[in-house]
Amino acid sequence: MSTFKALVASKGETGTELAFRDFAEADLMEGDVTVRVTHSTVNYKDGLALTGRAPVVRRWPMIPGIDFAGRVESSEHPDFKPGDLVILNGWGTGETHLGAYAQKSRVKGDWLVPLPEGMNPDEAMAIGTAGYTAMLCVLALERYGLRPTDGPVVVTGAAGGVGSIAIALLAKAGWHVIASTGRAEEADYLKELGAAEIIDRAELSAPGRPLGKERWIAGVDAVGSHTLANLLSMTRYGGAIAACGLAQGLDLPASVAPFILRGVALLGIDSVMCPKPRRLEAWQRLASGLDRDKLALMTTLIPLADVPETGRAILDGKVRGRVVVEIG
């Protein structure tokens, strides 16, 4: 029987239990492409799945991991052949479909994106779902018609994965970036990524007024809750905030004042079920619009064995930038 190494999550009496074990290839789920996974990453959602802190996993046992890069081993899909390098983000991988923390994965070819030319699999996972989501946010702001000459952009959760990549992308595109962080000690790091100003996240995290002083024309929010409400209340007339995260909370204790008095827009960003054309656009832009030196600056490499511990650390806000998992 052919097996491969995997990190397997089971539902135990005390909650989610993790074990490294051999997994039978015959037990992989349905799909028309089998991929030799070379790299994955640890996103915030992976932290939630690994610890069981939120009901991300909806099938047991599960191989967690919501994204990977790797090489096609076998394919019955017309777009992919053995040897092709591919990326997968979302589509329920690591939630309802066996995921990325394993040497092999079998998925639908329709879920896969070809690795952009000039990008390595480890760079693709340094970007990962966090970076691809940051790109979706930037594309949404652009599609809304906002430009760097319109005014500053604010990025929350700045020292995290989505935040770090959003800063690098926006700065390279010419925006004046205001980075909001709870980690003052990361100011130099954020400036190296391209932040022009740093603000303390405490300025935004408490209950605020329906309308505040107009401070930015655009925003990328990875935090939600009061932070997102305050971001909206401080957005200039006609601006927009792209909201993708919930690091502070799932709630949105806001008023309609910014919408009806300043024409502000709230742009929702989902990476999991995002249609393929938009994914391809995002990955092409990531290939050309992200400085690789900055990507290296924000990336830490870990072995598969360190994934459980890193899952706990990311929920505690202790991970800076991005983490690449070498599957080996």
Query: Dihedral, CA atoms, 99, 104, 110, 114, nearest 10 degrees?
Result: 110
Our finding on whether 282 is near ligand NDP (CB under 6 A) is no
Our finding on whether 271 is near ligand NDP (CB under 6 A) is yes
**Residue number with the shortest CB distance to ligand NDP?**
160
How near is the Cβ of 1 to ligand NDP at its closest, in Å?
36
How near is the Cβ of 272 to ligand NDP at its closest, in Å?
6
Q: Which is nearer to ligand NDP, 248 or 299 (CB)?
A: 248
Q: Which is nearer to ligand NDP, 104 or 215 (CB)?
A: 215
Beta-carbon contacts of 67 under 8 Å, excluding residues fewer than 6 positions away, are 40, 41, 43, 87, 88, 89, 90, 93, 94, 100, 125, 128, 129
How near is the Cβ of 113 to ligand NDP at its closest, in Å?
15
Q: Report which residue type is found at 290.
A: L
Tokens in use for 282? Answer: 């995002």
The number of CA neighbours under 13 Å toward the Cβ of 111 is 26
Number of C-beta neighbours around residue 305 at 10 A: 11
Our finding on whether 244 is near ligand NDP (CB under 6 A) is yes
The answer to whether 158 and 134 are in contact (CB under 8 A) is no
Question: SS3 of 123, please?
Answer: helix
Our finding on whether 99 is near ligand NDP (CB under 6 A) is no
Q: Find out whether the peptide bond into 61 is cis, omega within 30 degrees of 0.
A: yes
Q: Which is nearer to ligand NDP, 52 or 161 (CB)?
A: 161
Helices (H), the chain: 44-51, 121-143, 161-172, 187-193, 202-205, 225-233, 257-262, 276-289, 292-297, 307-315
User: Among 74-82, 142-150, 219-227, 277-285, which window interacts with ligand NDP (CB under 6 A)?
Assistant: 219-227
User: Among 95-103, 116-124, 230-238, 241-249, which window interacts with ligand NDP (CB under 6 A)?
Assistant: 241-249
Residues 145-164 that bind ligand NDP (CB under 6 A): 157-163
Among 201, 215, 262, 279, binds ligand NDP (CB under 6 A): 201
Q: Which is nearer to ligand NDP, 91 or 175 (CB)?
A: 91
Please give the residue ranges that form the binding site for ligand NDP (CB under 6 A).
43-45, 129-130, 133, 157-163, 181-183, 201, 205, 222-223, 227, 244-248, 269-272, 314, 317, 319
